[in-house]
Amino acid sequence: MTAISSVKTASCPALFLAAPSSGAGKTTITAALARYFRLQGKVVRVFKTGPDYLDPQILAQASGQDVEQLDMWMAGEAYCQQKLYEAALEADLILVEGVMGMFDGEPSSADLAARYNIPLAIVMDVKGMAQTAGAIAVGLANYRDDVTVAGLIANSCGTERHAELIREALPESLPLLATLPRDPDVALPERHLGLVQAAEVRDELETRFNAGAEWIAGNRITELPASVEFKSADIDTVEPLLAGKRIGIAKDAAFSFIYDANLRLLNALGADYCFFSPLNDSELPDVDALWLPGGYPELHAAQLGTNQSIQQAIREFHQSGKPVLAECGGFLYSLETLTDLDEQQYPMTGLMTGHGAMRGKRGCQGMQTAALPEGDVRAHAHHRSRAFDTEAPIAHGRRQRHPAPGEPIFREGSLTASYLHLFFPSNPAAIAAIFSGHFEHTEGTVG
């Protein structure tokens, strides 16, 4: 690989939206801000902290621009730095939505904001409190001296008097940027693993985004935040290890958890790709490898189970020895059967031994390293299902902060399957080896 050494800079107004906890309304307010400034003719680039698939879909529709995930553990500091720099070259405003609480995780939202000098706006659901909201905001703002807090956004603020009590409780150094009412017509719809997919409710979201933009109008936050200087990063070019390869990617309502960064990495490796639908298509495109990403197969298990023609095509593809990568929902689709939340069992492709079943609220989530024979790939898990009666895994994920073995990783023939969602740019050579079919046919557990 060849290193790019010249460092360049670009400046752009930027704001990082963080909160004391999940459920404060970060995504709703980030989407409303993105739509407001978009309606003002601004180019708004939005980033989402952490390994999230659903929020970026929502935020991309609100902003009209692609949304990138930023995670210094999963992607690396240099990668995040470069993406922010590239956005600053073209955008009038950069918004970054945090994850969980402001200081939760390693690295946390505060770590990311501090590393790239992005001022924070604290988003707080103030229902049921008044002056206490000011006390919490002051505590968050002063907890660390390496972060800059621009002010407070009071969500679910009941009345003007409610807003005035909060405003009076804040010091001059921590202004009240916005007071937003309790409004179910603006809040974003949810389901059992988070927000719904944008494509499912596109028209409804448009109505909510525009209502959210009206929310924002008249608040102090309609002024662009301060400009931040972003630097380019020293990154390695990627060798075209997949030149001439064409990869078929499952993409429909059942399979949609696809990082744009992964698609760009495939192109950088020299590969072409195309999409197909396990729900609706009867045959596969002419491809050299398959990627079955995550999604919600449990919500479409009956239709997936009924489409036997595409299942047979996928089985024949696998039996021919061509490589298949299956992640989370794609992993469930690779098993023999899947039992949905209504305890109905449906046939899946049977590329590997075993069965899958949903299990309500219990599940697994967290950052892990996929310890593949081809090399370590950063990844994460987020599922509420279980797989059983499988063959022995070849490896296990390594958890970020816990010594217990992570998700099992399976390899049956040319299939590599796991609950883990892989972040391809973290190890391009390993990803190229998997999709080229040059991976190791390892037996037994290696990690």
Domain 246-436 in CATH 3.40.50.880? yes
377 — phi, psi (to 5°)? -130, 130
* CA–CA distance, 339 with 385 (Å, rounded to integer): 9
pLDDT tens-digit map of 271-324? 999 999 999 999 999 999 999 999 999 999 999 999 999 999 999 999 999 999
Q: Provide mean pLDDT across the span 152-173.
A: 94
The ranges assigned to domains in the chain are 9-231, 246-436
Confidence label for 190 from pLDDT (cuts 50, 70 and 90)? low
Residue 191 has pLDDT above 60, yes or no: no
**What are the distances in angstroms from CA 27 to CA 18, 22, 104?**
10, 10, 17
pLDDT at 247: 98
pLDDT at 362: 59
Q: Provide mean pLDDT across the span 418-424.
A: 97
pLDDT at 153: 96
Confidence label for 395 from pLDDT (cuts 50, 70 and 90)? very high
* Burial class (CB within 10 angstroms; exposed 0-12, middle 13-18, buried 19+) of 246: middle
Secondary structure (DSSP) of 215-244 = HHTTSGGGS---EEEEE----BPPP-TTTT
The domains spanning 9-231 and 246-436 adopt the same CATH topology: yes
pLDDT tens-digit map of 318-376? 999 999 999 999 999 999 999 998 999 999 999 999 999 998 665 567 899 999 999 99
The one catalytic residue among 12, 157, 328, 364 = 328
pLDDT tens-digit map of 43-98? 999 999 988 888 898 999 999 999 999 999 999 999 999 999 999 999 999 999 99
pLDDT at 445: 31
Q: Is 328 a catalytic residue?
A: yes
Residue 408 has pLDDT above 90, yes or no: yes
Residues facing 377 on adjacent strands:
370
Fold adopted by 9-231: Rossmann fold (3.40.50)
**Average predicted confidence (pLDDT) for the chain:** 91
pLDDT at 182: 77
The pTM of the full predicted model, rounded to 2 decimals, is: 0.89
